[in-house]
Structure 1
């Protein structure tokens, strides 16, 4: 499972599933070679594979009948990918007794270099012919994705057209933002798409470039006030808090609090960092619970000892 930790300062853990909770069907119909209607999410753990949870598994209906669709998002080349995907497919099929359609969507900065199949034949009865779909976002044509009817997927624009994005850098990223703003999405959906685009940009671009492109847009459109932003932000916050409680470490809450405040205010003066590290669990949880009500750094003084 990919946990996105962009260079722009969005350091909390976010999964692709979180980002596209309202656009799973768009992802499937754009990146697969079948047309399907999502029925419901499938919950599954993989106790004997490297990553215990796959990125996205749903039950769907297609022209071929009911099936499970598994989308796996990969940010780096992994020569073991075919073995991982085969184990995922077997576990999903064993659990739900559904045929499994799989897609690996590669989001990495470098050229994709992974196999999409396992094949051998021994004698007349022993053989393996296993395949899955591989998509390298960096090879997708920019105009093709920009013009797709699935306009929410414009948030992936910063990851396409590897040669052009590497050549034009900031100019390319600005074009991505402009094309999202010019889309037919309503204002709230545009805010969510721009927030997602900023997160995905963190996989490719440096912090300075991302800040140069997105800071003005965030202020102009009020991205941090959008429902999509808050839902994802709060989910990452909740996940971090749960992990902190599980590990029994107060340091985890300190780290979460600092990261959230840096995300909200871009900078956190050293004096506040020092003071936050001195707070007890109750104060830290109060800060986290009220993060959206704190609008000025000076308001932290109301919470800190």
Structure 2
């Protein structure tokens, strides 16, 4: 298996689970709550992005907002981001906020789920949120759960076992989804999602070997789930393991803006950085543009470049 540049998947995961928020809360949450609607929230003052999924829900404690954040790489800034999100959601809707970060990364999670300090009796901070490493969930635990629509996560569970078994592990994932009690149309959607998640932790060759035959057998390309994901803006090369980029014209336009902004800020861009910038895809270029005011040294580009 090969490590993947996971951050490009974070946006995708939001779309994949847009219709499964109740399932995610039931499986990952530590409270009983019923989703009653979506909440729209942006962070123009503190973030350049939109939070992943924010819903209004009813629980035994009363109405609340539930914030699901999806993460495919470790991020030391996560507690600060989550606190800013919580404050903005609470400020906007005046609801208590229950937050869950779901980490799908290839490597062991090393993020923290809290911020705390105390300075005397009047100045203190004790902030926490629910942080889950999907790789620590056992295969059998997810397979045997009543939340069968979440079987799409099988390729990223049980980190030690999947790293040891490789392609055989992925083959079992596909077989167990096919033999599940889900109806045929749902199986197609779940298998498509499973293939996308597999791209986070398995190499392209293994994914092709396992899923090409499955796609042909079940005619996944004709499924409603397949069409829905395309309509959400997924890359057109998904049948090739999501390896193709977005159209060349958009890439060239973003590349021009990226180079002009970096040149204006740092005056001169070393040749080696220029060569690497020109090789980046649309997502990475957009991230550099969005975070240009936070990049204070050219060496910080290493956090973005692939």
TM over 0.5: yes
Classify the TM-score, shorter chain. 0.7 to 0.9
Tell me what 1:286 maps to: none
Which deviations, in whole Å up to 9, do the C-alpha atoms of 1:16-43 show, x marking residues without a partner? 2211122110001100101111111111
Provide closer, same or farther for how the CA distance between residues 120 and 263 of structure 1 changes in structure 2, counting only shifts above 3 A. closer
Normalising by the residue count of structure 2, what TM-score does the alignment of the two structures yield? 0.75
Structure 2 residue 9 is the aligned partner of structure 1 residue 4? yes
Contact kept, 8 Å, 1:2 with 1:73, in 2: the verdict is no
Write the mapping of 1:21-32 to structure 2, written as runs, cut at 5 A.
21-32=18-29
Pick one of 143, 161, 184 that aligns with 1:146: 143
Write the mapping of 1:118-129 to structure 2, written as runs, cut at 5 A.
118-129=115-126
Q: Give the whole-Å Cα distance in 2 for the aligned partners of 1:66 and 1:169.
A: 44
Greater relative contact order (CA < 8 Å, ≥ 6 in sequence): 1
* Root mean square deviation of aligned Cα: 2.3
Q: Secondary structure at the match of 1:15?
A: helix
Tell me what 1:8 maps to: none
Normalising by the residue count of structure 1, what TM-score does the alignment of the two structures yield? 0.75
Tell me what 1:47 maps to: 44
Contact kept, 8 Å, 1:111 with 1:138, in 2: the verdict is yes
Q: Give the whole-Å Cα distance in 2 for the aligned partners of 1:194 and 1:143.
A: 18
CA-CA distance at 1:221 after TM superposition: 0.2
Q: Give the whole-Å Cα distance in 2 for the aligned partners of 1:100 and 1:48.
A: 19
Q: Secondary structure at the match of 2:141?
A: helix
CA-CA distance at 1:2 after TM superposition: 5.7
Q: Secondary structure at the match of 1:93?
A: helix
Gap regions ≥5 residues in structure 2: 1-5, 242-246, 250-306
Tell me what 1:133 maps to: 130
Provide closer, same or farther for how the CA distance between residues 107 and 51 of structure 1 changes in structure 2, counting only shifts above 3 A. farther
CA-CA distance at 1:49 after TM superposition: 3.1
Contact kept, 8 Å, 1:2 with 1:15, in 2: the verdict is no
CA-CA distance at 1:182 after TM superposition: 1.0
Gap regions ≥5 residues in structure 1: 6-13, 238-258, 267-275, 279-305
Structure 2 residue 180 is the aligned partner of structure 1 residue 175? no
Tell me what 1:166 maps to: 163
Q: Secondary structure at the match of 2:177?
A: helix
Residue-pair matches, total: 241
